[in-house]
Structure 1
C-alpha cells in the first residue's frame, strides 16, 4: 500500500482544487474508460450549520471534466457534500440531495467504506499519499455491475 499520510482535519485537507484522473474498468467485458477533470472542494454555506467558517458547515465537492468510454468523449460532472463527522479527521459524505453515501475517516491516512446501492455493493478505499496527493479505488459488484474505478487527485496550486 505504500506510505500513508495521516490527516488530522479532513475538511481542511480536502479544501481547494484538485486535478482529477479516473480510470474505469469493466471487469466483465474488459472495456476501459477514462475521466479527466477537476474537483473543487468549496465551503458549504447552506445556512443549516454554524457561522460559515471552514469545517463547520462542511464542503461541497464539484467534479467536472470529460469522460471517454468506447471512443466517445462527453462532459461529466458530480456533486457531493462533505459534512463534519464525529471528529476533525472524519466526515459524512452525502449525495448532492443530502442522502447518505458513506463515512470517511482519514486520521490514519487510509479508510475503507461500503455503500449498498440496490443489488450492488460499492466498496471504496481511500489512501492519502501526502499533503497534495490522494487516491480512491471503488470496486462495484452486483448482478449487473463488475467495475473498478481508480481516481487520483493532485492538488492544484495557485500560480505565483
Structure 2
C-alpha cells in the first residue's frame, strides 16, 4: 500500500493509448511525467512527450497538474488540481485500485488507478460527453 505523496516524487516513463470511440481511431503518447516538490505537501506534475493521434502528424504534448497531500485524518489522500488551481479528482492511497470522477459539464470523466504492481502503476480514464467518447490508458514506471 502507498503511504503518501512522497513516493511519486521524481521522473517516470509514461506510455499512453487513447481509444477514440467517437472518431474511430487511436492515439499514442510516449514521454515522461515528472513530479517536482513545490511545498511540504505539494508536487507539480509535468508530463511531456510525443503524441500521435489518428492520422495527424506527431506533435509535442504537455500537461500540468498540482498534486496535494494531506495531514491528519485525511493523510493518505491526494487532491489533483488543474494548473489553474481548480479541483480535478482525488486519489485514496489506502486502496490499491482507487477511483474517482469529475464532471465538467457537459462531459463526465471517470478514472481508475492501479497500484497493484508498485512502483509500476496505471491509470484508466473513461470520458463521455456530447462530443467525447474515449478511453485513455496510461502506464508509469520509474525512469
TM-score per shorter chain, which class? over 0.9
| Cα-to-partner distance string for 1:57-103 (whole Å, 9 max, x where unaligned) | 31000000000012310000001000123533211110111111011
Question: Which runs of structure 1 show a deviation greater than 2 angstroms over 4 or more consecutive aligned residues?
Answer: 85-88
Aligned partners of 1:152, 1:70: CA distance in 2, in Å?
20
Mapped pair 1:75 → 2:77: no
1:1-160 aligned at under 5 Å gives the runs 6-9=1-4, 11-45=5-39, 56-71=40-55, 72-85=57-70, 87-156=74-143
Gaps of 5+ in 1: 1-5, 46-55
**Alpha-carbon deviations, 1:28-54, whole Å to 9, x = none?**
232001000000001014xxxxxxxxx
1:143 & 1:131 partners in 2: Cα distance?
36
Aligned residues: 140
Ranges in structure 2 where 5+ consecutive residues have no aligned partner: none
Higher strand share: 2
Single out whichever of 25-34 and 86-95 deviates more from structure 2. Answer: 86-95
Question: What TM-score comes out, normalization by structure 1 length?
Answer: 0.83
Larger radius of gyration, structure 1 or 2?
1
Look up the SS of the partner of 1:12 in the other structure.
helix
Supply the distance in 2 between the matched residues of 1:119 and 1:109 (Cα, whole angstroms). 30
